[in-house]
Amino acid sequence: MFEINAKKRPRKIGGKLAAGFTMLEIMIVVVIIGIVAAMAVPSFYNTIPKIKARNEARNILNFIRLARSKAVSEGVQYGVYMDTNSRQYILYKDTVNPAQMMHNAGDSVVVGPETLDPDVVLTNSTFSGNNVIFLPTGGASQSGSFTLDNTEGGSSYTISVLSSTGKSKMQ
C-alpha cells in the first residue's frame, strides 16, 4: 500500500519533469533566517559601545607611539596631551619650554586635535597635567596611564607608559 523508503519523484508539469522547491519550503527557510537575524541584532547592538571605546584607546596609543618614534628619530621632545575639558587629545612638538616637560599654548601641534567619541569617556589619568613627553632617548617624562571607558560602562581600556623605556601598551 505505502512504500516506507519511497524516493520522491519529480512532478510532471506540462509533459516535462519539474524539480525544485515549493513555495511553502521557501517560506519556512525565510522565516528561520528572520528569527536567527532577530536574535543576533540585540547582541551586536550591545557591542558597539565597546568597539568605540577600544578604537579610541587604540587611537591614543597610536598617538603615544608616534610621539616616541618622532622624538627618537628627530632628536627633540614630542608629547601627547589630553584636554579633559574639550575631550580632545593632540600630538605636539615640545618647543616652547622643553625643560618644563609640559604642554604649553605655543607648542607646535603635529596631529590633532582629535575629539573623543561622544560614547567614550576618559575615566582616569595618572599623568600629571594629562600630558606625557617623550625624550630623544626614547624614555618618557613620567610613567602613567590613561583609562577610557564607554558611557554605558563595562569595557575599560588602559593605555600605560613606562618612563624608563617609553614603552606603551593597552590593556
CA 76/CA 78 separation, integer angstroms:
7
The 10s digit of each residue's pLDDT in 56-110 is 888 889 888 988 998 889 888 888 888 888 888 888 887 777 777 677 677 778 8
Torsion, CA 50, CA 52, CA 57, CA 61, rounded to 10: 130
What's residue 30's pLDDT?
92
* Alpha helix segments (H runs only) across the chain: 23-74
How remote is the C-alpha of 115 from its chain's centroid?
A: 14
Taking the complete model, does pTM exceed 0.75, yes or no?
no
Which domains does the chain carry?
52-170 (3.55.40.10)
- pLDDT above 70 for 13: no
Query: How confident is the model over 95-151, as pLDDT tens digits?
Result: 777 777 677 677 778 887 888 888 888 888 888 888 888 988 888 888 888 888 887
Give the residue among 91, 156, 168 at the shortest CA–CA distance from 121. 156
